[in-house]
Amino acid sequence: MSEEKKEIANNIPVPASLKQGEEENKNRRDFLKDMGAAALVGAAALLTNSDDIEAKSTWAEWFQKNYRLMSDEEKKEAIARLEQRYSEEYGKNVTVDNVPAMKGVLFGYALNIQKCIGCRRCVHACVKENNQSRNNPEIQWIRVIRMEKGNFSLEDTDKGYPAGSGYKSGDNTSYGVQVGGNAYKDSGVVLEGQHYYQPENVPEKDAFYFPIQCMQCEKPPCVKVCPVRATYRDPDGIVVIDYNWCIGCRMCQSACPYWARRFNWGDPNLPKEEMNPNTHYLGNRPRVRGVMEKCTFCLQRTRKGRYTSCVEVCPVGARKFGNLLDPESEVRKILDKKKVFRLKADLNTYPKFFYFID
Amino acid sequence: MFPKIKFAIDFFICCWKGSAKYYAWLAFLGALSLIFFFGLYQQLTHGLIFTNMNDQVSWGLYESNFIFLVGVAAAAVTVVFPAYVYHHKQLKSIVIIGEMVAITAVNMVMLFILMHMGRVDRLWHLIPVIGIFNFPNSMLTWDVIVLNGYLGLNVVCAFYYLYKKYTGQHPNDKFYSPLVYISIVWALSIHTVTAFLINTMPPRPMWFHSMMPIKFISTAFASGPSLIIIAFLVIKRTTALKVEDEAIELLSQIVTWCLGLALFLAMSEIVTELYPSTEHSFSLKYLLFGKHGLSGLVPWIWTSFTLNIIAFLLLLNPKFRKNHKRLLIICIMVFIGVWIDKGMGLVVPGFIPTPIGEFAEYTPSLFEVMNSIGIWAFGLMMFTMLAKGGIGVLTGEIKYSCEPGQGSRRNKEPLVCHPFCSGHPGSTGKEK
């Protein structure tokens, strides 16, 4: 505590003859008045941010309201603050949008699992577009699950119990087979896929691929459990996070059935040259440690009429995106004509992310 | 106003005065709890990167301790309920100790929550009016309400009682009794709501069943009274406070039956889950037997079962239950058994596998372990001092003296004279 007190003291011209005790008392009173209940955290912030402008903007950010409750002017101020800070930090002209949801738009996504070849170009394009932390670990919003194709074997059909359990195949005393021996190995479509596959070439013969990301549920469990409403559903159906309001309790991460949310466990690291300067307040602006993030359907692009980066990059055209309220949109046509399903439909979360096959 | 200030000062002084052993104990705990401040500083400056939590297992040791300690806090009701509803004389005279356990446990709960949060500096976002309180949607906001309410109730109940004792007056029943009854119901609510906090998440099938609240309460009413018995046995040996055998006997019976119920519920869960053996039972399978060659939690859960089952069988036998040396060991067994059951047996496996079926193991980092030890040490220190002050009042070591400016520890008759304040805790039994 003493260091920052001295720092404040140095800024005020005081005759040297003044007793140090009085001076400190006076300053402390001012300090407490300014900082209010936040004295402890304030001390930490002031200690770590000796730079004056940065300290100021940190303070302003600390006191700012939830994004939805800000007046237009407050939004402008917050954005100006961020743009200035990001531009300085990343050495380029960074813009922070606050384009709101358009009326008459409800974004939806459709993914053709028949076409997906598991190349993960979408994963990397997403990271590049959305300014995720790059190292240790790289935060990825899309994960592609490799689903194995298992085999059935004839020898196992009359094996009723695992080997060594005392039951013999064909033994009359076992009173028939109770469990098919094929139940003890991966057979058919294996539901336990894995998303760490490293093949030389994709697609692999014995697998198919199942990309997942935020499903932008119409009834999002993550929004319900958030104690401070830092995450909410915008009118265009995108579930967003106010990175400046999130308290990092990770309730949403536990409640999400699709494992779509990622937490910034440490300080995010984003190399200057890889930073995407076209950002949105609720989307891909650089994050801070201790907050949650996830796919936003690239709202910095889509709210301006562009496709998401994963749709753009997909080499096989497996990814489709559009306005669910527009009967002429590609997604709506897919919903009308293709065989469509949603992931974990039994949970009643009503995702706006559909899987389909031709 | 004067007696109140005097009470506060006397109580505070009493907390800090003791034998060399007492100081050594406090110094030991104080040194250990310094680790916590180091950990807090690290987290404020670097985030949670030093922990071993990750996006797969995003709640860890902190959350485990939080859930366990909510149970300990709730368990104060096992002292308060018999004391006030059944007028159990022997418990009524030492009911304060139970409330001190509750106060301490809730404080530890809050510290663990602070350590769990990614942005402690934004805690104010949670405060109604100045922040946004997502009530009644978010279960966590319910937990905030019940935990803070419970802390308030216990602080008021305990210190009001002590103050009245200190001045030698009777507690005002119109004020005190309703508070006590509310706190009894409230105690159940804190663990129920904490159970709802995690069992309302379908993506975590291991937690997603309606047995959770009653299982929480039954395990809590086994581990909590165990801790209180341990505290009573230590207090009995080291202080002048009289702890009657009947009080300990009743508590040990509560431990017995609640532990039995907890074991029964665990058995029901295992049968229900493992008989059909669906994908939803993978967590439990992983916990009990390991899966895909991963078995990090298996030794823990079987240790927990072993401790709890042996403790239960021993408790059934009065020879063990009534022998305080043996009872002490049994209580330590139950306490450790339930602690493992709540952390390694419930919180961690709930995340394994992840909702998309990934098995990722979690072992707390040294950083997490040290911080947790720090908070436990802080809690023990807090309890020691609160109990010291409370015992000081109960035994009449500190009481209100009419002459201002005089040392309060003088052997003088108090200003208000009443049998209630005669210094012997057993005398409280006469009032009913």
For the beta carbon of residue A162, count every other beta carbon within 10 angstroms: 11
Beta bridge partners of A354: A110
Interface check B198 vs A, CB under 8 A: yes
Are the beta carbons of A280 and A82 closer than 8 angstroms? no
Are the beta carbons of A95 and A340 closer than 8 angstroms? no
Interface check B128 vs A, CB under 8 A: no
Interface check B42 vs A, CB under 8 A: no
pLDDT value of residue A162: 53
The answer on pLDDT for A123 being more than 80 is yes
At CA B104, angle to CA B101 and CA B105, rounded to 5? 80
Q: How confident is the model at residue A357 (pLDDT cuts 50, 70, 90)?
A: very high
CA distances (Å), A339 to each of A113, A215, A345, in order?
A: 11, 18, 15
Average pLDDT, chain A: 83
Kindly report the nearest CA distance between residue A232 and chain B, in angstroms.
Answer: 11
The whole-angstrom separation of Cα A253 and Cα A246 is 12
Are the beta carbons of B331 and B226 closer than 8 angstroms? yes
Q: What is the DSSP string of A304-317?
A: TTPPPHHHHH-TT-
The whole-angstrom separation of Cα B87 and Cα B80 is 10
Average pLDDT over residues A247-276: 94
Average pLDDT over residues A236-265: 95
Q: Which residue of B has its CA nearest to A47?
A: B45
Are the beta carbons of B425 and B394 closer than 8 angstroms? yes
Are the beta carbons of A84 and A60 closer than 8 angstroms? no
Are the beta carbons of A304 and A312 closer than 8 angstroms? no
Are the beta carbons of A236 and B150 closer than 8 angstroms? no
Average pLDDT over residues A236-261: 95
The answer on pLDDT for A18 being more than 50 is no
3-state secondary structure of A40: helix
Write the secondary structure of B335-388 as one string of H (helix), E (strand) and C (coil). HHHHHHHHHHHHHCHHHCCCCCCCCCCCCCCHHHHHHHHHHHHHHHHHHHHHHH
| Partner residue opposite B125 with nearest CB, options A212, A245, A263 | A245
Name the E strands within A139-293.
Answer: 143-148, 207-212, 231-233, 239-241, 262-263, 278-280, 292-293
CATH of range A107-146+211-357; options 3.30.70.20, 3.40.1580.10, 2.40.160.20, 3.40.800.10: 3.30.70.20
Are the beta carbons of B304 and B345 closer than 8 angstroms? yes
Kindly report the nearest CA distance between residue A196 and chain B, in angstroms.
Answer: 10
Interface check B278 vs A, CB under 8 A: no
Name the E strands within A185-329.
Answer: 207-212, 231-233, 239-241, 262-263, 278-280, 292-293, 319-323
The whole-angstrom separation of Cα B4 and Cα A351 is 60
Q: Which residue of B has its CA nearest to A243?
A: B119
**What whole-number percentage of chain A has pLDDT above 90?**
63
**What whole-number percentage of chain A has pLDDT above 70?**
77
The whole-angstrom separation of Cα A58 and Cα A61 is 5
Ordered by start, the domain boundaries in chain A are 2-6+19-81, 107-146+211-357
CA distances (Å), B83 to each of A168, B166, B173, B322, in order?
A: 62, 20, 15, 20
C-alpha torsion angle, residues A284, A286, A291, A296 (rounded to 10) = 0
CA distances (Å), B232 to each of B22, B249, B252, B337, B385, in order?
A: 16, 11, 12, 20, 14
The whole-angstrom separation of Cα B153 and Cα A243 is 35
Q: What is the DSSP string of B8-32?
A: HHHHHHHHH---HHHHHHHHHHHHH
| Partner residue opposite A192 with nearest CB, options B117, B132, B357 | B357
Kindly report the nearest CA distance between residue A292 and chain B, in angstroms.
Answer: 9
Q: Which of B134, B208, B359 to mutate to test the interface with A (most CBs of A within 10 A)?
A: B134
3-state secondary structure of B231: helix
Determine, for residues B125 and A195 on separate chains, whether the beta-carbon distance falls below 8 Å. no
| Partner residue opposite A193 with nearest CB, options B45, B204, B357 | B357
Determine, for residues B198 and A254 on separate chains, whether the beta-carbon distance falls below 8 Å. yes
Q: How confident is the model at residue A44 (pLDDT cuts 50, 70, 90)?
A: very low
pTM score, whole prediction: 0.87
Q: Which of B121, B200, B294 to mutate to test the interface with A (most CBs of A within 10 A)?
A: B121
Name the least confident of A218-222, A229-233, B38-42, B338-342: B38-42
CA distances (Å), B306 to each of B272, B301, B303, in order?
A: 21, 9, 5
Find, among A78, A96, A76, the residue nearest to A87 by Cα.
A96
pLDDT value of residue A217: 96
The whole-angstrom separation of Cα A65 and Cα B316 is 58
For the beta carbon of residue B75, count every other beta carbon within 10 angstroms: 31
Are the beta carbons of A37 and A51 closer than 8 angstroms? no
Are the beta carbons of A139 and A308 closer than 8 angstroms? no
For the beta carbon of residue A234, count every other beta carbon within 10 angstroms: 17
Q: How many residues does chain B have?
A: 432
3-state secondary structure of B236: helix
The whole-angstrom separation of Cα A112 and Cα B250 is 65
Sorted by where each starts, the structural domains of chain B and their CATH numbers stand as 2-46+54-431 (1.20.1630.10)
Interface check B360 vs A, CB under 8 A: no
Give B212's Cβ-side CA count (13 Å radius): 24
The whole-angstrom separation of Cα B46 and Cα A135 is 15
The answer on pLDDT for A28 being more than 70 is no
pLDDT value of residue B416: 47
pLDDT value of residue A33: 44
3-state secondary structure of A340: strand
Residues 6+ apart with CB under 8 A from A159: A169, A177, A180, A181
The whole-angstrom separation of Cα A291 and Cα A231 is 11
Which token pair is A87? 């531009």
The whole-angstrom separation of Cα A326 and Cα B109 is 51
Interface check B148 vs A, CB under 8 A: no
> B225: cis peptide before it, omega within 30°?
no
pLDDT value of residue B424: 43
């910095």: which residue's tokens? A300
**Torsion region of A36: left, alpha or beta (phi above 0 gives left; psi -120 to 50 gives alpha):** left
The whole-angstrom separation of Cα A262 and Cα B70 is 28
Kindly report the nearest CA distance between residue A21 and chain B, in angstroms.
Answer: 28
CA B175 and chain centroid, separation: 26
Interface A–B counts its CB contacts (< 8 A) at 146
Interface check B138 vs A, CB under 8 A: yes
Average pLDDT over residues A115-137: 93
Determine, for residues A221 and B44 on separate chains, whether the beta-carbon distance falls below 8 Å. no
Which element (helix H / strand E) includes A112?
strand A107-112
Residues 6+ apart with CB under 8 A from B316: B256
At CA A280, angle to CA A254 and CA A142, rounded to 5? 45
The whole-angstrom separation of Cα A144 and Cα A193 is 9
The whole-angstrom separation of Cα A310 and Cα A254 is 26
**ipTM at complex level:** 0.87
Cβ-based burial of B212 (10 A; exposed 0-12, middle 13-18, buried ≥19): buried
Which 330-349 residues of chain A touch chain B by CB within 8 A? 347
> A221: cis peptide before it, omega within 30°?
no
What's the start-to-end Cα distance of chain B, in Å?
30
- Sequential pLDDT tens for chain B (432 residues): 688 898 999 999 999 888 999 999 999 999 999 988 888 888 888 889 999 999 999 999 999 999 999 999 999 999 999 999 999 999 998 999 999 999 999 999 999 999 999 999 899 999 988 899 999 999 999 999 999 999 999 999 999 999 999 998 889 999 999 999 999 999 999 999 999 999 999 999 999 999 999 999 999 999 999 999 999 999 999 999 999 999 999 999 999 999 999 999 999 999 999 999 888 999 999 999 998 889 999 999 999 999 999 999 999 999 999 999 999 999 999 999 999 999 999 999 999 999 998 999 999 999 999 999 999 999 999 999 999 999 999 998 888 875 544 444 444 444 444 444 444 444 443 333
Which token pair is B308? 């709890």
Average pLDDT over residues A136-156: 87
Which 95-124 residues of chain B touch chain A by CB within 8 A? 116-124
Give the type of residue at B402.
Answer: C
The 10s digit of each residue's pLDDT in A50-105 is 455 566 667 888 888 899 899 999 999 999 999 999 999 999 999 999 999 999 99
